[in-house]
Structure 1
């Protein structure tokens, strides 16, 4: 795989066309930057994509459809006249792309900015007077099928109904709270419906102002990135352009660390507020910055403080972040109104929740370990190789669990969207002796990625937990464990179904002497991966050995539901040897299926899933308060039937490993986080059934009376 990626880079780097991009860039202005970006992206994607789409009229129609939908998903900005004007370009976007023409983008961007300004006046005017909830009218929230407003009057009415459905829902909720308070305390003085109605409008106005404030913070280049990604998505759902800030966020998500002060920030009116301090980070260690502080000014070391009130959140974050060892000085307003200057030396900050964590649990006199892997992370920037790596961390957790004398391990990759391909190969290798883990195909060439380390970190009973959001690397791991019959896969009917490999290419490396600033990066699909049995996980995902009912099973949220998803196919199997200690698998699977079929809770989850699916087409709501209440009461009555799903609690007690218990003594936030996790595990019927499967996989000790081993006082494992 690494070899193939090197070839891709070579193809791109050696192209004379590409280096033409370096000519005469000193005097370019932003439109020229956009044209350069389009040219660069088009060239790289055509040369490097696994199966590049043909850029023709059909391609153009796809870009047009996706882009307009992304600009105005609820159809509350554009009029039909705008769409009529835009549609003239529907079949021309392929030509505009080839010619680096920005006419369509400029037209839509300028029109959107104009319509957004109009909309601010519209919603403020609507929310200035009370709603009449007694009139007979309804609203269809299926925006995909809705037509665009024919004129401004129709658009205003759509805004009115969109806001009204929101405030009506909030009003009826508030009325229920007031009624409950009155029942609880007869002396309680209830708020009037007029007061409650006013509160809902004020809350809605605040929410819309914040939403538009966020959109106002977006720059033209952010909207251009949206246009570019409408182009990129035509190739496949996972090829995308990263603007510079997005690339930085992607790197943080992959490595789980960044250089900065270790504080989570959020916008609060015109201020930036400290919402949380990350344990172990510079701000936490300094003990001067506190949750709730409002940042007023930012200075670099002894530099002049810069006022950041009213500044975009992303721009403030840029000023606060910086290289390890450098100093930043924050002028903050404390909760008591005092102003302080807080100096902080920047350092490496690790986001603890990105990383692997494990727990112990006892069941039927046996001890088990649960390892949760949120992402197949790997510090790709650390060339020394000593950065955080999920494979190394899993190995450490397995070793800790072995020292705790566990009898089995559950590896939970639910909601794990994937990550590093090299990392998943290493993780799978922890549970087998050696052999192929995954096959990777680029064009006509196939490569098999092997675990070459004969050491097995864990050879005992193993269960892998998956769900419909387990994707990519999670699916490689589950597929390999399943093909080797090394462990049992439990969870949703099938996983997400992403069987493609992406690489992130820094676009700046291909442009010489540019003064146009950071061009961002391209996440490009360059390969497909296959199970060692030859089947692709693309679209099909990995089918669980034990299927557990899922509330969201019937909703369209997997790869197969994406418009431009690549197809499924199959290649030759790789030679591999099935795990020889799986005699109990069939019985364990049969036992689990029987338990699930007879379990009230699982049957209720299945019934709830079908009800949720049946409601997915109920898109029309009455805006008459009496009818709305009746509709909501009917829904609430049905929903009460499914309340036991939320209220469920198993009888298991989950505890942290000794090393973590020590850490909790100095980090109260870690203790709080683990307690929350353990509480969620104690309410998780899926984890409970995974442990039941581990129970069924246990080698039971039996006495064979007529055997010499018994006479010698020995026991024989069945």
Structure 2
């Protein structure tokens, strides 16, 4: 289960690595102390959370204990920085933090952080002293293991226990670098630069960094989407929301000392590459196809982002640790491009599919996000861009091309404008409610309605996956509740909450104030939308999605509202599912997808990693051989020439990524999910007349 023990999305100041504390360090490093206005800001945050947040939680001794645990885990998620004696000392504040925050006192948070900072500094100095004498003489023939998940472990009971833990961690770092082909001297130089950089950044930390981390440990108790943004983080947040950014199209966050991929911008370079995944960790960044790789472990988030951003058309190389697995590094080449809202506009394509007896022309509309140019809209520009306007135009074009059915592809669509989600639904249903919104004051609004007759009334399918969220879930849920079309794919993300920005004396508070509900009364929160027909899972729901957050608001339901039921789709589902299963049981691409997911799940479940070099090399060889066998089995079944070596397979993948650029195209040959969706749609159309004869009926509630 992925925990939400991370700082707010744009709080790039977690430089967590090592532990130890000495009197000598006290003289070197001044303690960080709260600034005068931070106490009043803390009181503001507490007041707004208690008064405005949907959850209506009041700070109490019980909440204080949870805050204490959350804050310490945010600092030390691997239980390897603090000693057990530190934790015992910190227990004096376990039930007092609520009273302190109400009084505008944040010193306890600073005291805990200063202890962490001092121990970290001393450990970094200790390791640098070791590296000054050369790379430690590790015995890589010894059979020993590093624990990957220490969530249920204890903090080191003594300095010697901490030394042993960090001996293994340093040994693992060295081994990982050896396995990339680096020589001992290169490894030593890289680690020296890494730890010196971390030491420098520790000295650059400010009280704002500590305060933001402490306050976000509080906001996460309410839900994972409420955050405190300091003035500096607010600036980064606003930059990320701008319409044009030159880079790779990835949202990053900090976890431990690593920069981690939170999500990919749909249609962006990283998304199109297919090589960078959510939860991957970025350890180094190189400019161009051959530029020096700069180690970024322990860097501030905004500094890492600055390295990754660059001029459109240029290349960046990312050295990553893929999510799950044994910590082996992988280098990815990505061509930067300008990531614009306009570039994520809806696009269409047509393809032909047969049900075995008749061939149908299917229109596909790909929608990466729910967008609207608010500025042009407010200016009353008649040509302003929006999701609904663009899709309406595409629908007219597809109808002119005489398509037999339409697939609306919302995979990886993380949401956007609620107004656009509502208006888009209006293109496919007649008048009626689209979504219910329950606010913190328990009032329910149903103003988001379809107000016109449907523009398109033919066979419809909505394609979703685990990364379809928020506005995507509202649209897909409405289509499903109205029985207007099939929903196909995977369970969606489950983000059914609404956030607003509340100003503070210093910075702003992003706070959850409302919750989405479908017209059926079911919330989209936590559970998301369950498809009528399931495709193979490509993303682990345990690590990605709303349910992966410990403090996510729960699923619940309210009263349904009257709405039409267009077709009796349940009558068709058994036949459609049966044909889908028969087709995919022997389909090479689907066999590969299922094998790939099983492969990645097994790697993610690994609890320990070997520190024996021969064992790791053997494991890597076996993994590569398994991947090659899976890919070649797929290629042979499709009549393609198999790869002779894993290196040939990797090289072909790299060349493909390097050639990615320009507008996103809808292609079937690289998209077995969309291809199968087309065959399901052909089956659907062949049965459509059976359910399309009667007018829609309004359900009774």
Residues 286-325 of structure 1: pairs in structure 2 closer than 5 A:
none
Q: Distance in 2 between matches of 1:648 and 1:396?
A: 41
Q: Check the 8 A contact 1:497/1:539 in 2, yes or no.
A: yes
Q: Among residues 31, 49, 56, which one is paired with 1:52 in the alignment? A: 56
**How far has the Cα of 1:99 moved from its partner?**
1.2
Aligned-partner SS, 1:231: helix
- Quickly say closer, same or farther: Cα 1:226–1:568, change in 2 above 3 A: same
CA deviation string 1:440-493 (max 9, x = no partner): 12244222134343143433332222122222222111111111122211111x
Q: Which residue of 1 is the match for residue 468 of structure 2?
A: 470
**How far has the Cα of 1:540 moved from its partner?**
2.1
Q: Among residues 155, 159, 175, which one is paired with 2:162 in the alignment? A: 155
- Quickly say closer, same or farther: Cα 1:670–1:57, change in 2 above 3 A: same
Q: Among residues 208, 227, 231, which one is paired with 1:221 in the alignment? A: 208
CA deviation string 1:80-129 (max 9, x = no partner): 33322222212211111111111212212322332332233234345431
Q: Which residue of 2 is the match for residue 497 of structure 1?
A: 494
- Quickly say closer, same or farther: Cα 1:527–1:66, change in 2 above 3 A: same
Root-mean-square deviation (CA, aligned residues, Å) is 4.1
Q: Distance in 2 between matches of 1:34 and 1:366?
A: 64
- Quickly say closer, same or farther: Cα 1:567–1:675, change in 2 above 3 A: closer
Residues 55-204 of structure 1: pairs in structure 2 closer than 5 A:
55-127=59-131, 128-129=134-135, 130-174=137-181, 196-204=183-191
Q: Check the 8 A contact 1:236/1:566 in 2, yes or no.
A: yes
Q: Among residues 334, 356, 360, which one is paired with 2:349 in the alignment? A: 360
- Quickly say closer, same or farther: Cα 1:495–1:403, change in 2 above 3 A: same
CA deviation string 1:109-151 (max 9, x = no partner): 3223323322332343454315331234321111313332344
Q: Distance in 1 between matches of 2:414 and 2:248?
A: 23
Aligned-partner SS, 1:696: helix
Q: Check the 8 A contact 2:423/2:450 in 1, yes or no.
A: no
Q: Distance in 2 between matches of 1:701 and 1:371?
A: 20
**How far has the Cα of 1:211 moved from its partner?**
5.8
Q: Which runs of 5+ in 2 are unaligned?
A: 1-32, 251-267, 269-286, 289-298, 307-337, 354-358, 640-656, 690-701
Q: Among residues 613, 623, 640, which one is paired with 1:625 in the alignment? A: 613
Answering whether residue 428 of structure 2 is matched by residue 434 of structure 1, we say no
CA deviation string 1:48-78 (max 9, x = no partner): 1222213112211211122112223334433
**How far has the Cα of 1:424 moved from its partner?**
1.4
**How far has the Cα of 1:555 moved from its partner?**
3.0
Count of residues paired in the alignment: 554
Q: Structure 1-normalised TM-score?
A: 0.67
Answering whether residue 345 of structure 2 is matched by residue 375 of structure 1, we say no
CA deviation string 1:589-622 (max 9, x = no partner): 4432432344344344335434544444422222
Q: Distance in 2 between matches of 1:212 and 1:430?
A: 57
Q: Check the 8 A contact 1:548/1:686 in 2, yes or no.
A: yes
Q: Check the 8 A contact 2:65/2:94 in 1, yes or no.
A: yes
Q: Which residue of 2 is the match for residue 697 of structure 1?
A: 684
Q: Check the 8 A contact 2:461/2:488 in 1, yes or no.
A: yes
Q: Which residue of 2 is the match for residue 295 of structure 1?
A: none
Answering whether residue 465 of structure 2 is matched by residue 458 of structure 1, we say no
Q: Which residue of 2 is the match for residue 542 of structure 1?
A: 529
Answering whether residue 590 of structure 2 is matched by residue 602 of structure 1, we say yes
Q: Distance in 2 between matches of 1:137 and 1:313?
A: 33
Q: Among residues 561, 564, 581, which one is paired with 2:548 in the alignment? A: 561
Q: Distance in 2 between matches of 1:245 and 1:376?
A: 28
- Of structures 1 and 2, the one scoring higher in RCO (CA 8 A, sep 6+) is 2
- Quickly say closer, same or farther: Cα 1:389–1:205, change in 2 above 3 A: farther
- Quickly say closer, same or farther: Cα 1:457–1:649, change in 2 above 3 A: farther
